[in-house]
Structure 1
Amino acid sequence: MNVQDINGTLTTTINNNIATVEFGHPASNSFPRRQLDLLTAEFQKLNNDQDVSVIVLRSVGSGAFCAGASFDELLAVSNQVEGTAFFSGFAHLINAMRSCSKIIIGRIHGKTVGGGVGIASACDYAFATVDSAIKLSELAIGIGPFVIEPAVSRKIGKTAMSEMSLAAHEWKSAAWANEKGLYARVLKDQEEMDIELEKFTSKLASYNPEALIEMKRVIWEGTSHWDTLLLERAAVSGQLVLSDFTKNALNQFKK
């Protein structure tokens, strides 16, 4: 798959039972709704691909891994239906990653904000560099990390998630994210990370595919209710994004 337009890029390559899915957007790899839908559909497609045992999720460039939701689209929201629909994009993506039968390995090469933290948390195993700081800035713009919270809390615990959310202006270091369990490995730079990532995924892809599928089920046991929970959370965010506070804050952030 290779998609490229004004909404961003999405490319998938498959080699030796490893699918590498790479997304990109000019605005620091942020996500407009269409990009969320494309990535969701790609995970659903790979779920049924018998030639794939492992998926590597990465983004383009050497700057931010993901800046979260598209501010332009958030500012364009004019009613709750539109707001709920936008945030449902993150709900559907996280649920697609959760229900995908393939092990998903995150390659988090740089800073990650908001929805990007949720995507990193929905990976089954994540590699990062020392530059891969994280931040949940949603409260600072008048909403909250409601849709992604279950995925983040599942990885780092409710206490750490609350710490991040309430300190919405603070970056947490890659070392902090590693200590809390969001990142499995933190390497000094992208070159070292890619060497270790290749070793790890090659070994993982050599294992019994049926065993990997069963392991994936074990990893995500007890999360089937997310199909409705995340959409309920999307409705909360869809309402809050309409507030004057949020509109003003988004305009300030853009400046």
Structure 2
Amino acid sequence: CSRSSVSGKLLFYVWLTPLPFLLNRIKASGLKLRFCTNETQATREGFVKKLQGMGFDISVAEVTAPAPAACRILKERSLRPHLLVHNDLVPEFAEIDKTNPNCVVIGDAAENFTYGNLNEAFRVLIGMEKPVLISLGKGRYYKETDGLKLDVGAYMKALEYACDVQAEVVGKPAKTFFESALAEMGVPPQQAIMIGDDIVNDVGGAQQCGMRALQVRTGKYRPCDENHPHVKPDAYVNNLAEAVDIILQQL
């Protein structure tokens, strides 16, 4: 595993559970930082409010998330979405015309992933000459306090198969997602590090963008990740605190 030196810049991924003092250590070091999340069950404002309630010093401007990226695409291409998303995420699309849909946007809709709702999205897509399916991620599963749960990728694949369409992914691991975060900070990929628990979405996505990536052995990490046939992290760390220690020691 490599522990290459880090030069003055950092792209930093956190999934809802680290201690706030680790964030303060990063900020005090002068490194640039972004929270890169595939959270699609809440707006960025809701996501930030949740973290602030846990003691994090974080602003909406420090969060890169899929829904705003999808809205930019919809506006640029004059697309009117049929939304299959979580109810709490709908406000992100408040300024988007949704009449007479000419595409489908799918996110982690959780309890909204019913047969009826999936079939409605299917009917929108199958009725188009050139169906457009935009997915706010393609994760297979994620971890909550009560265990692992199916993520948006499973439902995205169902619609792809039924409608013979290739989804456009705007969340992790899409290269454009990481490029957006880097552009917001004004940092080249060679000077950025991703820390995440998802071998494909976090580590693989960052590396294909030219970044280095560390995988933490917490969260959704599973031992079999270390034998992944395609994605090899630059290093494994046991937890977020260890990752921060390594990075700051290398400055």
> TM-score of the superposition, structure 1-length normalised?
0.28
> TM-score of the superposition, structure 2-length normalised?
0.29
Q: Which has the higher helix share?
A: 1
- Say which one has the larger Rg: 2
